[in-house]
Structure 1
């Protein structure tokens, strides 16, 4: 017999996220994984989060339970389980930072002599780093020759290696790196967001949080640049394609892009 706890441990060992698992493990841990039914999961979501919205129940209970139970199916420990999400109203769409927004923001940082903030925002935007990962980046985590930054785990159980574009490498090199010292000097995500707000105000830009200018923009920009979904997910450290596509990705002129591609194919076929 394999328990839900066994399935969760195996899921994490294979790279699954741990953030929302503790309460599910507390609820189902010793149970035979074959007895954890869709009804049981939906009931647990309501009981564990009695005052939460449907979207929160989906995020904190249904989605992680789905992931663990599907992993158990892949391991041959149970049959697949189809667990319905709670119906959740559509929330306001987050508009990620555009290239023009980012250029204006960085120009304002340069004018205000804020090189650490500029480099921090670029790391989040170009590498999909969370603000907590960015502020915890130490000198020894950066390899300027290989142009990589090792993001120490925050939400996931594994550290994540990110590859930095040349202009970001140059900015980080100019900051000066020292082992044991924070690359961007900030110690709190609140400080980063307060500085972003202040720069946006001086630059006449709409405020965008570190998450919006970082992971949201990274996902959208990667796909709009023609990168495949799987490649973009792996580059930014996403495990769930559902969360990646439904939460983080926006399109830019989708209809026009598809039209232009179809036109290109049509004209190429004529010759």
Structure 2
């Protein structure tokens, strides 16, 4: 028997009443609106069924599934400490919001989103795909999009002139392939096919491997990097010999100080510069999405859409230059 709406005699408040899987339910919806009460009834019935079906899975088990599928282990420790022993269906929006205030209240919304909501929702998606839990998503704080900054080709030219080969090689790889710094750090010799001019990024943010074409200058650079930079880290050989994004960014910062350059992080010198360069060449947001492996064109549009519009505006102004100026006589007439 499904839940249905009922009213007590003399009361304007709606109640849900019914039996699901042998359990009797009678609860107040706390509203006199029929429309709101119906929405509550549907949601509550789904919650009950989800709890019956998925009730045994705890958050710590979902984390293991997420990591097994190639998920990023960054920022997980506080989440495991807080939610580890809880069943997935026991984690509520109010609980997450309280944890956000207690643990991350001193941080900017963008940081809270990155360190709490993004990994939390990724873990819950992984559990749902493995049929271990319902599809749950917690709404992150709104983040105001700031104009994106990136390293232009002039900056990159000066950086390469001042950098040692290993730092220059990984930055060149990121800026010409759109690889994230973590993906570049994990690149292994077996992932590189110099003869075909391509590489495979196996552990990506989306969890799906991505093939990237290699420009001739990258083929030459990787040939040298494989000979001079590759070394084992944590039991795996890494082409560029960097263990984490922190070591890459520290190397970039040292070069910038030495060369008197403004500091651009690996993301701004790599992935941002990659997208900005393609858009400056007149490519579409869709092409940028496909080339860089972004999950959705909406994400690309939010971050880089203003660059595409700038390229369109410049093209319109350039096209107008082929027309002659109006004769003075025509300009004088109303």
TM-score normalised per structure 1: 0.67
What does residue 172 of structure 2 align with? 122
What does residue 32 of structure 1 align with? 87
Does the CA contact (< 8 Å) of 2:204 and 2:210 recur in 1? no
Deviation at 1:98, TM superposition (A): 2.8
Which one has the largest radius of gyration?
Answer: 2
Quick one: which of 88, 98, 104 aligns to 2:152? 98
Deviation at 1:254, TM superposition (A): 1.0
- Cα distance change on mapping 1:214 and 1:255 into 2, 3 Å: closer
Deviation at 1:30, TM superposition (A): 2.3
What does residue 290 of structure 2 align with? 231
2:264 is aligned with 1:208: yes
Which one scores higher on RCO, CA 8 angstroms, separation ≥ 6? Answer: 1
What does residue 11 of structure 1 align with? 66
Does the CA contact (< 8 Å) of 1:124 and 1:215 recur in 2? yes
Quick one: which of 125, 147, 152 aligns to 2:197? 147
- Cα distance change on mapping 1:26 and 1:136 into 2, 3 Å: same
Deviation at 1:226, TM superposition (A): 3.2
User: 1:135-158 deviations in whole A, cap 9, x for unaligned?
Assistant: 676767644223345669698989
Quick one: which of 57, 60, 82 aligns to 2:112? 57
Residues 175-190 of structure 1 aligned to structure 2 (within 5 Å): 177=227, 180-181=230-231, 188-189=247-248, 190=250
Deviation at 1:160, TM superposition (A): 7.1
Deviation at 1:193, TM superposition (A): 2.4
**Residue ranges of structure 1 left out of the alignment (5+ in a row):** 262-271
Deviation at 1:166, TM superposition (A): 1.8
Rounded to whole Å, the distance in 2 between the matches of 1:185 and 1:75 is 34
Aligned residues: 249
Deviation at 1:7, TM superposition (A): 2.7
- Cα distance change on mapping 1:32 and 1:253 into 2, 3 Å: closer
Q: By percentage of residues, which structure has more strand?
A: 2
Deviation at 1:194, TM superposition (A): 1.3
2:223 is aligned with 1:173: yes
Rounded to whole Å, the distance in 1 between the matches of 2:163 and 2:68 is 44
- Cα distance change on mapping 1:162 and 1:260 into 2, 3 Å: closer
For the residue of structure 2 that corresponds to 1:64, the secondary structure is helix
Deviation at 1:213, TM superposition (A): 0.5
Deviation at 1:29, TM superposition (A): 1.9
Rounded to whole Å, the distance in 2 between the matches of 1:98 and 1:20 is 31
User: 1:198-228 deviations in whole A, cap 9, x for unaligned?
Assistant: 34x3xxx644233310122234445663363
Query: Does 124-133 or 20-29 show the bigger shift?
Result: 124-133
- Cα distance change on mapping 1:76 and 1:241 into 2, 3 Å: farther
Rounded to whole Å, the distance in 2 between the matches of 1:81 and 1:32 is 12
For the residue of structure 1 that corresponds to 2:227, the secondary structure is coil
